[in-house]
Structure 1
Amino acid sequence: MRIELVTPSPPDLFDGNRVTALRWERILTGLGHEVEVRNEYSGKRCELFIALHARKSLASITAFRDRWPEAPLLVALTGSDLYRDLPKNAEVLKVLELATRLIVLHRRAVLELPESARSKTWVIYQSADQPDLKLDPPEATFQVAVVAHLLPQKDPFRAALAARKLPLASRVEVHHAGRAFDQAMELKAKDEEKKNRRYKWLGELTHPKALRLIASSHLVVIASEYEGGSNVLSEALVSSVPVLVSRTSGLVGTMGDDYPGYFPVGDTTELARLLRRVETEESLYTLLKDRALRSAWLVRPEQERASWQELLHEVSFRAVAQRSFF
């Protein structure tokens, strides 16, 4: 099939949406399809249209649907679609109606949708490739990785603030990779680095370097206020690196209700307590590592590929039927 995949993320920004779009391009190409990734709908003929982000891709979605009313249209819902815009945003509600199928990135996301949209919703967990080489974390410090752009919804400094509360004997160092999108956030990161001996801001890293940071750390912290599905979580799991994560639907949807590494959103004190326990209690560290291994099957590349293959098989008859409309 000829597939056009639209993401609002610019080509030079490796945020979650761009990483997801490029991974899906590889998967769909590997399944034998012709895929073009763009920022907006080209207006050209295609047999399947996929849009990442309902609200930000609204113009492309409506343009495609107006031109090809019967063609298959898949819309992947992001964290802001699910947890900020629903249930009242009229633009997102319109997209739910226009889409042939909706894609969500964890099982609990379905519960955020109106009843009328749930039957056409497909769950596809985001996968990550295992590192080519086994990378050992440093021995002199307990390295904690934070891979998050400096955006409010990512709560990017929560781990740094928690590290401030640790006792002098702690060896925790927070290594934070992420882009600052404005001068205020850049100054905040630099100021935190000056005042907090446990915090290092690395700026924006290339995707391969971010993967190496994760794989070479003792622990990953994800403090997001909401997540539609976390690429960083998938990358940590396949690298067998334990995680401490905020108790949000998007993260619980992958790790399960009883995961012992949750902290409440924005709770610096609880995160500091968990950091100290994970650093000093081998039994807890081992438990988190074991749970990471148990959850890793959900985010294996072959699992995501199989999910896409099944979804495309389900909608392929539409691509055949719609050819008479071009």
Structure 2
Amino acid sequence: MHITLITPAPRGSRAGNRATAERWARLLRASGHRTRIITEYDAEPTDLLVALHAWRSSESVRQYRAHTPSGPLIVALTGTDIYRFQQTHPEATRYSMAEADALIGLHERVADDIPREFHNRLHTIFQSAEPLPSRRAPVQSRFDVVVIGHLRDEKDSLRTAWAARQLPQESRLNVIQLGRAHDDEWQALAEQEARENPRFDWKGELPRWQVRRHMAKARLMVISSVMEGGANVVSEACVAGLPVIASDIPGNVGLLGGDYPGTYPVEDTTALREQLLRAENEPEFLAALQGRVEARAPLFRPEAEQAALERVVNAVMDQYGKENQT
């Protein structure tokens, strides 16, 4: 079967949508399908269209429906679709959701935040991650905490650095921030923080292998986002056995589990500080976090994602076949 994937992120982009599209294309090819990735619908024949991002791909969905009114369509919902564009651009976002034969959510709490009318077409697919080659011995003189992701509003990117400013002098905690600034304002904020905060080390955008090396040596990862559709970096941490402290947004809780002990109220610097201190000073707490992420790791293995993706494709194509029997 020929499957076309649409992502608004162009070739070479390090945006999450592009990474997801490329990974899904590989997994679908491994299942025997032919795949291609485009940024806009181009009317080329395809057996199935998979659109990543309900709002940003809405024009492609319109063009596809105009060209192929009953063609099979899957729409993957991003964090901004669910937690922003449903409110700010409801017509285009809901149009894509309504036209889809299946919706894909990337964490297990998406149903709580989309209209009930779409629940019967929602499927959960956890994004997978490859294991790190090996965990490395951490730097003994520091307690390194890694924060990964482009610096932007949705990520609340400097929250960990601000929490680190409040730590007692004897703390060994050091924040290693990886990711480029989204714009000039974030660039200036990060540069200022690096000058003023001795516990903050901003590395900027690094090649993937260097990001994985930092993860392999870190003692802890923080994901401080105010909205997420299901961040792949959480999957990577779980597969790597890297303990996580996360904001208590649905996109994090829906990956780590509802009773995960390493969460804090979103945008609450003091609460994050307390969690960081516990992780640094209470070995049993850090071990508990590690045990919990390791227990979630099987959810994020490539074979699990491939099987889940194939189930959705088969369900859509089976329904399409039944509706078009003559």
Measured against the shorter chain, the TM-score band is over 0.9
Q: Classify the secondary structure of the residue corresponding to 1:119.
A: helix
Deviation of the 1:133 alpha carbon = 2.9
Structure 2 match to 1:18: 18
> Does the CA contact (< 8 Å) of 1:141 and 1:173 recur in 2?
yes
SS in 2 for 1:107: coil
Deviations 1:250-283 (A, max 9, x none): 1111112211100111111111111111001001
Question: 2:82 — aligned with what?
Answer: 82
Tell me what 1:119 maps to: 120
Larger CA deviation: 128-137 vs 192-201 = 128-137
Q: Distance in 2 between matches of 1:318 and 1:295?
A: 32
Aligned match of 1:53: 53
Hey, what does 1:128 align to over in structure 2?
Answer: 129
Report how far residue 137 of structure 1 moved: 2.2
Deviation at 1:12, TM superposition (A): 2.8
Is 2:243 the counterpart of 1:212?
no
Structure 2 portions without partners, runs of 5+:
none
Aligned to 1:7: 7
Q: 1:225 is matched with which residue?
A: 226
Tell me if 1:264 matches 2:270: no
Q: Residues 320 and 34 from structure 1, CA distance in 2 versus in 1: closer, same or farther, beyond 3 angstroms?
A: farther
TM-score, reference length from structure 2: 0.95
Task: Summarize the alignment of residues 104-115 of structure 1 with structure 2, pairs less than 5 Å apart.
Answer: 104-115=105-116
Mapped partners of 1:323, 1:103: distance in 2:
23
RMSD, aligned CA: 1.7
Distance of 2:69 and 2:219 partners within structure 1: 51
Does the CA-based 8 Å contact 1:6-1:57 persist in structure 2? yes
Paired position in structure 2 for 1:295: 296
- Aligned partners of 1:202 and 1:12: how far apart in 2? 20
Deviation at 1:312, TM superposition (A): 1.8
CA contact (8 A) 1:71 1:318 kept: no
Unpaired segments ≥5 residues, structure 1: none
In structure 2, relative to structure 1, the CA distance for the partners of 1:250 and 1:158 (3 Å cut) is same
The residue that corresponds to 1:273 in the other structure is 274
Q: Could you tell me the percent identity over the aligned residues?
A: 39
Q: Which residue of 1 aligns with 2:162?
A: 161
Once the two structures are overlaid, the 10-residue window that deviates more, 296-305 or 194-203, is 296-305
Q: 1:16 & 1:316 partners in 2: Cα distance?
A: 26
> Aligned equivalents of 2:284 and 2:317: distance in 1?
49
1:323 to partner: Cα distance: 9.6
- Letter paired with 2:257: G
Q: Give CA-to-partner distance per residue, 1:147-182, whole Å, 9 cap, x none.
A: 021110100000000011111111111111111122
Identify the range of structure 1 (202-211 vs 190-199) with the bigger mean alpha-carbon deviation: 202-211
Query: Structure 1's 283 and 30: CA in aligned 2 closer, same or farther, altered over 3 A?
Result: same
What corresponds to 1:180 in structure 2?
A: 181
Q: CA deviation at 1:59?
A: 0.9
Q: 1:218 to 1:238 in 2, by over 3 A?
A: same
Contact 2:134 2:216 in 1 (8 A): no
Is the CA contact (8 Å cut-off) linking 1:137 and 1:218 kept in structure 2? yes
**Helix, strand or coil for the counterpart of 2:175?**
strand
